[in-house]
Amino acid sequence: MKSADTRIELGNRIKLSKWDANDTGVIGNGKSDAGEWLDRYRAKLETLQALLYVDAVMA
């Protein structure tokens, strides 16, 4: 399984045995790579949570 194949379509099944548990290809090889990735996705998550909050308040 390629590390780039991280999205799973709704309704599809996966087998975890096909994934390499030691694969770090999506994030990178070092802590600095992981930190950059984490910061980027944390900011994205904050934006999405704010949108959900506004949607719930306005509903």
Rounded distance between C-alpha atoms, residue 5 and residue 39, angstroms: 22
DSSP string, 21-52: TT--TTT-SSHHHHHHHHHHHHHHHHHHHHHH
| pLDDT for 2 | 52
* CA end-to-end span of the chain: 41
| pLDDT for 47 | 95
Does the pLDDT of residue 1 top 50, yes or no?
A: no
| pLDDT for 46 | 96
The domain ranges of the chain are 29-59
Radius of gyration of the chain, Cα coordinates, nearest whole angstrom: 16
| pLDDT for 23 | 75
Name the pTM for this structure.
Answer: 0.47
CA atoms within 13 A on the CB side of 50: 6
pLDDT digits (tens, 9 = 90+) for 32-58: 777 888 898 999 999 999 999 998 888
